[in-house]
């Protein structure tokens, strides 16, 4: 029998070798290091559900590579699942499914619950932006008879990881006459791609002595976009401008009011012989946003009104009127309360509803990486395949103990595998959107899913973790207080 035939039997072999339980209750472990992978003990039906969910997830994030494209895809998903736009005329009956888009860059999906809105909400928040390259306001220039784009970066990246990979150009151009031009070049197999070419080893021996942080500078991150001059000897840049005018009706000046990003053009793929991992761009944090969106679509008549609040700009500090620092969230909740209460609406009632709200802030985080495990304190390190993780970072960044206990009960009561995550003291770090909502007197806990190669063009997740996060979100939305 050829070797490739053995590979096709790997899922069956793993199933036969598996033993244990689906739930990872820490009480069943001597310590967290001895907890079993949540792949162990899966039934054949559960395993099939995990892989099926992963395929749907990959299909979605293949298209949703920026905030703008995520909102487009999420809007289509919401409407296909019975959600309608929230308007001033919307009747908030139990089970009503509504969504609202804020400036094309955030989206909220809501299902109205049986209890009064004054008793609070169940909210899952995540962000839909990911590290990327952005075009500057006046990006187009020529050098060495190439046309290039000048870029800036969004979020924390290692510059060298963005060279020599296929890049797609996505976003929009807004013109002075009020029209908007959408652009997506590089995702279709027949599209051209863009690339930042790295120096060959034959000519960069001097640069090789530089530290990794200095090997490439931010101003070096300019992709080549064209190189053919005109028949009459016109400059390559002029050819690009002519193309933009002919194809999209935009001028050089229109690029000042553009929001264009360069993102990896590589498609999501299964990773490993057993196909248990997903390699894809943008899993921070569109993984969490997708899980929350899928979960709320399966809610019919929740006890408390549920919401998936999916926002922009976390990677740059929750800024702008589409980030978590914006008043959009509180404005949205206050409008819902006013729709229910009318003239009985009062500010103290709104503040009381916030106090009774439970909020899960989900953001992925680095999992144990076999290249270097030293940044983790092993007893509190998240591992791929061990389920969702509760972020217990300390130093004022951890949910209070009673909300952690409530969350443990939620997860254990629904047989959802989970673990904890804490960096070595003073070694690692990273933010979420959770603090912006905790400051509003909301009960907030940070969840995560461990990834490898986080903030790179091609991050890696475990399919079982993605599915476990979706199950946790669904259980939270369906929670019934005793």
Average pLDDT over the chain, rounded to an integer: 90
**Residues 404, 389: Cα–Cα separation, whole Å:** 12
Q: What is the pLDDT of residue 29?
A: 56
Per-residue pLDDT tens over the stretch 297-354:
999 999 999 999 999 999 999 999 999 999 999 999 999 999 999 999 999 999 999 9
Dihedral of alpha carbons 380, 382, 386, 387, sign: positive
Asked whether 142 and 149 are in contact (CB, 8 A), the reply is no
Q: Domain residues of the chain, as ranges?
A: 32-130+281-477, 132-264
What are residue 277's phi and psi, to 5 degrees? -115, 155
Query: Helix 283-296 and helix 67-80: axis angle, to 10°?
Result: 10
Q: Which of 215-219, 272-276, 378-382, 430-434 has the highest mean pLDDT?
A: 272-276
**Residues 283, 266: Cα–Cα separation, whole Å:** 13
Q: What is the pLDDT of residue 436?
A: 92
**The CATH fold of domain 32-130+281-477:** Aminopeptidase (3.40.630)
What are residue 285's phi and psi, to 5 degrees? -130, 30
Per-residue pLDDT tens over the stretch 385-415:
999 999 888 777 888 999 999 999 999 999 9
Asked whether 65 and 168 are in contact (CB, 8 A), the reply is yes
What 8-state DSSP symbol labels residue 301?
S
**pTM, full prediction:** 0.91
Distance set, CA 89 to CA 86, 295, 339 (Å) = 8, 26, 9
What 8-state DSSP symbol labels residue 195?
B
**Residues 86, 309: Cα–Cα separation, whole Å:** 14
Q: What is the pLDDT of residue 204?
A: 77
**The CATH fold of domain 132-264:** Aminopeptidase i, Domain 2 (2.30.250)
Q: What is the pLDDT of residue 421?
A: 87
Residue 353: both structure tokens together = 């509803």
Per-residue pLDDT tens over the stretch 281-301:
999 989 999 999 999 999 999
**Residues 419, 282: Cα–Cα separation, whole Å:** 23
Q: Which residues contact 333 (CB under 8 A, 6 or more apart)?
A: 117, 121, 350, 353, 354
């Amino acid at each position: 029998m050829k070797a490739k035939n053995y590979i096709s039997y790997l899922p069956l072999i793993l199933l036969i070798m598996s033993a244990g339980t689906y739930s990872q209750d820490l009480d069943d472990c001597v310590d967290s290091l001895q907890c079993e992978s949540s792949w162990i003990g899966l039934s054949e039906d559960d395993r099939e559900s995990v892989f099926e969910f992963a395929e749907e997830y990959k299909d979605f994030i293949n298209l949703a590579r920026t905030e703008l494209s995520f909102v487009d895809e999420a809007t289509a998903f919401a409407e296909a699942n019975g959600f309608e736009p929230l308007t001033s005329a919307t009747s908030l009956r139990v089970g009503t499914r509504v969504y609202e888009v804020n400036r094309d860059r955030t989206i909220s999906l809501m299902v109205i619950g049986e209890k009064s809105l004054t008793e609070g909400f169940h909210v899952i928040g995540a962000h839909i932006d990911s590290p990327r390259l952005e075009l500057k306001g006046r990006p187009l220039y020529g050098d060495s008879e190439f046309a290039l784009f000048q870029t800036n970066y969004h979020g924390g990246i290692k510059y060298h990881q963005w060279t020599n990979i296929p890049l797609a150009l996505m976003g929009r151009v807004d013109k002075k006459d009020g029209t908007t031009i959408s652009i997506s070049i590089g995702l279709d197999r027949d599209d051209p791609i863009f690339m930042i070419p790295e120096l060959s080893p034959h000519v960069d021996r001097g640069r090789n002595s530089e530290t990794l942080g200095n090997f490439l500078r931010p101003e070096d991150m300019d992709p080549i976009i064209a190189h053919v001059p005109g028949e009459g000897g016109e400059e390559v840049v002029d050819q690009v401008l002519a193309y933009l005018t002919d194809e999209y009706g935009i001028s050089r000046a229109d690029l000042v009011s553009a929001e264009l990003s360069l993102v990896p053009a590589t498609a999501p793929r299964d990773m490993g012989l057993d196909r248990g991992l997903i390699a894809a761009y943008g899993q921070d944090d569109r993984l969490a946003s997708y899980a929350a969106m899928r979960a709320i679509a399966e809610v019919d008549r929740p006890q408390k009104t549920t919401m998936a609040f999916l926002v922009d700009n976390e990677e740059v500090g929750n800024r702008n009127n589409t980030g978590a620092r914006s008043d959009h969230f509180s404005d949205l909740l206050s409008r819902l309360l006013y729709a229910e209460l009318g003239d009985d609406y009062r500010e103290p009632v709104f503040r009381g509803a916030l106090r009774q709200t439970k909020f899960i802030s989900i953001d992925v985080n680095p999992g144990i990486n076999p290249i270097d495990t030293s940044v983790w304190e092993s007893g509190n390190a998240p591992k791929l395949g061990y389920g969702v993780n509760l972020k217990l970072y300390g130093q004022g960044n951890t949910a209070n103990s009673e909300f952690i206990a409530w969350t443990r009960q939620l997860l254990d009561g629904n047989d959802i595998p989970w673990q904890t995550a804490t960096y070595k003291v003073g070694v690692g770090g990273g933010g979420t959107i959770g603090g912006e909502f905790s400051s509003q007197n909301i009960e907030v806990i940070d969840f995560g899913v461990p990834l490898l190669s986080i903030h790179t063009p091609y991050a890696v997740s475990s399919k079982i973790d993605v599915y476990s996060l979706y199950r946790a979100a669904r259980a939270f939305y369906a929670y019934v207080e005793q």
